[in-house]
């Protein structure tokens, strides 16, 4: 896979405040999530990637080029900022046509392109004639996403694109992003709604206090965490019997049984060995299992592990 974004010893200060602290990473083509609490440095990183800020030291390249004041590179980058700021007095078509012209879309194509992206982000046509000051937060998000897609970028950078969207809207945007990724558009998306990134992004970058805490695929990050343990919730008819069976086989670090619903929670010593023997151990126990859910595989869990 080709490297889209590369940072080498990248730092950014705001006076005495550290925005990014000597970070190095690579982001490959595809869908990548950027995770971190407020003040982690996500927006600083996004602004450097999109050429709005310059590094204080170190180097960041996008497609091998520095983004600051670099029109040929910015032609390949789409950006959807955080917040709901859009020109309130304008109608979406007017705004998108202007943004399209500013992005290098030929004048003859710009109107059709604007209509196409508004359809793509599923902004209902009955709202196209309204001024954007009258829009809901979700509608503004859709138009903002649309302006980022106008010039068919190779890299799309999205800062909290799901904010303000209802569950249906989030699903639609996620679907749009997956379609774009399938068309070889690289996407960097930051969100504090980790569940969304979990289902959307194979690769993640975890930031806190201006430092990269983890990067790579979710699987790689889990493997890198030293005290990682798989945590499972098992719904079955004889939780005590199953727990004893697994414990005797030396699979567990600990377990817990909820007396209310009989749910068995287990912490596994070695996930690889556990999944290898799980089927035979279950058959030996004779217990009927109704459902299994991994608690530790969620992005939330990874995030908590790497930030503590």
Partner 1 sequence: MSEKPLPTFFNALQAIWALTWKGQWTAARLPYRFGVLLVLPALVLITVDTVQRWSQRQSSFGSAFVQTDSIAKRLDRRQVPLQQAQRDSLRAILQEEFQRLQSLWTDEPNESVATRKTRLEEHLGEFGRRILDRVKDVLDGRQMAEMRLWEAKFRDSTVERLSAIQPGWGRTTPFYHWLIDCYFFIILPLTCVRACGALIRDELQADTLGFLITRPISRARLLVVKYIAQVVWLELLLLVETLLLFGTGFERDILGLSALFPLFLVVQIAAIPAWCALGALLGQITTRYMAAALIYGAVVEMGIGRIPTNINSLSLLRHLETLLSRNGTLEGIFSWDVGNVWVAVSALVLAPVIFGGIAAFLFSMIEYHAAAEMQK
Nearer to partner 1, 188 or 236 (CB): 188
30-38, 68-76, 172-180, 279-287 -> range binding partner 1 (CB under 8 A)? 68-76
What are the backbone angles phi and psi of residue 250, rounded to the nearest 5°?
75, 25
Residue ranges in 74-103 that form contacts with partner 1 under rule CB under 8 A: 74-77, 79, 81, 83, 85-90, 94-95, 97-103
**Smallest separation, CB 88 to partner 1 (Å):** 8
Q: Compare residues 52 and 235 and give the one whose CB is closer to partner 1.
A: 52
Which lies closer to partner 1 via its Cβ, residue 38 or residue 279?
A: 38
Q: How near is the Cβ of 151 to partner 1 at its closest, in Å?
A: 7
Site for partner 1 in 268-297 (CB under 8 A): none
Question: Residue 66, Cβ neighbours under 10 Å: how many?
Answer: 15
Q: What is the closest distance, in whole angstroms, from the C-beta atom of residue 201 to partner 1 in the complex? A: 22
Q: Interface residues for partner 1 in 222-261 (CB under 8 A)?
A: none
27 counts as binding partner 1 under rule CB under 8 A: no
- Binding to partner 1 by residue 104, rule CB under 8 A? yes
Pick the closest to residue 191 from 201, 183, 182, 181 (CA basis). Answer: 201
Residue number with CB closer to partner 1 (36 or 146): 146
- HSE toward the beta carbon, residue 21, CA cutoff 13 A: 12
CB atoms within 10 A of CB 18: 17
What is the rounded distance in angstroms from the CA atom of residue 73 to the CA atom of residue 155? 10
- Residue 7 vs residues 4, 66, 166, 271: alpha-carbon distances, Å: 10, 10, 35, 33
Cβ pair 231, 296 in contact under 8 A: yes
Task: Tell me which of 4, 29, 31, 53 binds partner 1, using CB under 8 A.
Answer: 53
The 10 Å Cβ neighbour count of residue 119 is: 12
Could you tell me if 134 and 123 are in contact, meaning their C-beta atoms sit under 8 angstroms apart?
no
Q: Interface residues for partner 1 in 126-165 (CB under 8 A)?
A: 131, 147, 151-152, 154
Between CA 128 and CA 119 the distance in angstroms is 10
Residues forming contacts to partner 1 in the complex (CB under 8 A) are 14, 47, 50-54, 63, 69, 71-77, 79, 81, 83, 85-90, 94-95, 97-104, 106-107, 131, 147, 151-152, 154
């Amino acid at each position: 896979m080709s490297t889209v974004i590369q940072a080498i010893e990248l730092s950014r200060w705001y006076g005495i405040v550290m925005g990014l602290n000597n970070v190095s990473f690579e982001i490959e083509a595809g869908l990548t999530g950027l995770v971190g609490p407020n003040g982690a440095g996500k927006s600083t990183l996004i602004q450097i990637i999109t050429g709005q800020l310059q590094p204080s030291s170190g180097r960041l390249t996008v497609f091998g080029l520095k983004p600051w004041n670099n029109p040929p590179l910015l032609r390949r980058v789409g950006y959807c900022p955080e917040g709901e700021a859009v020109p309130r007095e304008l109608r979406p078509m007017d705004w998108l046509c202007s943004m399209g012209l500013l992005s290098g879309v030929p004048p003859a194509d710009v109107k059709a392109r604007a209509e196409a992206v508004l359809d793509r982000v599923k902004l209902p046509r009955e709202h196209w004639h309204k001024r954007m000051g009258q829009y809901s937060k979700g509608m503004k998000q859709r138009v903002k996403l649309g302006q980022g897609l106008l010039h068919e970028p190779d890299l799309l950078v999205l800062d909290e694109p799901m904010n303000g969207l209802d569950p249906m809207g989030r699903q639609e945007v996620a679907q749009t992003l997956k379609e774009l990724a399938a068309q070889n558009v690289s996407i960097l998306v930051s969100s504090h709604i980790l569940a969304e990134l979990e289902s959307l992004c194979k690769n993640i970058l975890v930031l806190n206090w201006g430092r990269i805490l983890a990067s790579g695929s979710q699987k790689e990050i889990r493997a890198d965490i030293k005290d990682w343990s798989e945590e499972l919730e098992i719904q079955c008819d004889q939780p005590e019997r199953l727990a004893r069976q697994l414990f005797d086989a030396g699979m567990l670090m600990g377990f817990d049984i909820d007396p209310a619903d009989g749910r068995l929670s287990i912490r596994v010593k070695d996930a690889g060995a556990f999944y290898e023997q799980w089927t035979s151990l279950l058959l030996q126990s004779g217990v009927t299992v109704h459902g299994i859910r991994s608690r530790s595989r969620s992005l939330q869990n990874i995030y908590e592990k790497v930030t503590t």
